[in-house]
Amino acid sequence: MTEKPKRPVKGPVDAMVIPRYAGFSTFARLPRIDEVDSFDVAVVGVPFDSGTTYRPGARFGPTAIRQASRLLRRYDPSLETEPFTWQQVVDAGDITCNPFDIETAIAQIQAAALDLRQGNHHLIAIGGDHTIALPLLRATRAGLDSLAVLHFDAHLDTWDTYFGARFTHGSPFRRAFEEGLLAGGKNVHVGTRGPIYSRADLDDDARFGFKVITSDDLDDLGVAEIVRQIRDRVGKSPLYISIDVDVMDPSHAPGTGTPEAGGISSRELLKMLRGLAGMNIVGADVVEVAPAYDHAEITSLAAAHLVYCLLSLFAREAGGDSKQGSWS
């Protein structure tokens, strides 16, 4: 937390002037990317769900998360930051993804993400199913020496092909390992639970460099100890955070494609995230919001708060001073 940005920052629409339920939906009512000259962090939608194996519908995730983000406000008292003031955040709209050809879509996402990453901008992708993590990892890893992955999910997502398809929402981290994108021995799954295909899945997963912290571990270890273990493992490595909302219990995230009972709460998840302050986070995604199964926006709301928390973590690195921040 050192210095405030030199240039004026364009923040969200002022809720004292335009009610929160009014106006076009951008994430947190922030400016569109075309409304500013430059930016520090872009939130970008990736409306793609053709890699889904069970309940589809995450293609409507970005729209739902944007709508649920209207209640977000300027100051984050838990991290003592002003995420919209200390850095220029924009909504970069949605990446166009071919719904009928997974590999084309992956290429489109990779290209668009690379483009947005130009100049070392931070990117937070809102999905979309978990297939999108692979091209996002490719784009994030580009120009870095190594990249650790912190993966919040009920599932490992290191499965292999499914119905002959190499690229689905169950395989991004296996593919990422095979492509040499993952830092050895520095990756972590958090919130894993539920039945899997076989014991061998765990062996494979370990080979890909992941440590598994289960949903049950949360009861036994507590948030603070888990955060300590994550920090120990990742160290100072550049870190990509991938959050599948099904890491939360179906009660907290009904609107998702492959729900598993026994999950964590949004409070636990947010608290873990905040515990990562000071780590070298370089990119992130929040995926698998399937609004057709949501109720009263609870899944989208949780997703919006997760994005906000990620923005707040970036803001701490950007530094700032709330007295001096100009809010729109």
Residues paired with residue 248 on neighbouring β-strands, in sequence order: 264
Q: Which range touches a second copy (CB under 8 A), out of 139-147, 171-179, 195-203, 234-242? A: 195-203
Shortest distance, CB of residue 144 to a second copy, whole angstroms?
Answer: 29
Cα–Cα distance, 306 to 139 (Å, whole number): 21
Q: 189 burial class (0-12, 13-18, 19+ CB within 10 angstroms)?
A: buried
Closer to a second copy by Cβ: residue 119 or 164: 164
Q: Which range touches a second copy (CB under 8 A), out of 135-143, 177-185, 234-242, 254-262? A: 254-262
Centre a 10 Å sphere on the Cβ of residue 255 and count the other Cβ atoms it contains. Answer: 28
Q: Which range touches a second copy (CB under 8 A), out of 70-78, 117-125, 138-146, 234-242? A: 70-78
Interacting residues with a second copy between 29 and 48 (CB under 8 A): 32, 45, 47
Backbone angles phi and psi of 203, in degrees to 5: -65, -45
The helix (run of H) or strand (run of E) holding residue 151 is strand 148-152
Contact call for residue 25 and a second copy (CB under 8 A)? yes
Contact call for residue 165 and a second copy (CB under 8 A)? yes
Vertex 250: Cα angle to 249 and 251 (nearest 5): 85
Closer to a second copy by Cβ: residue 34 or 145: 34
Cα-Cα end-to-end distance for the chain = 21
Interacting residues with a second copy between 284 and 303 (CB under 8 A): 292-298, 301-302
Contact call for residue 94 and a second copy (CB under 8 A)? yes
Supply 255's token pair. 């609107």
**Chosen residue from 36, 204, 254, 319 binding a second copy by CB under 8 A:** 254
The angle that helices 266-274 and 215-234 make with each other, rounded to 10 degrees, is 10
Contact call for residue 106 and a second copy (CB under 8 A)? no
Interacting residues with a second copy between 111 and 140 (CB under 8 A): none
Q: Which range touches a second copy (CB under 8 A), out of 3-11, 174-182, 235-243, 267-275? A: 267-275
Name which of 12, 5, 6 is nearest 35 in CA terms.
12
**Chosen residue from 1, 204, 229, 265 binding a second copy by CB under 8 A:** 265
Contact call for residue 206 and a second copy (CB under 8 A)? no
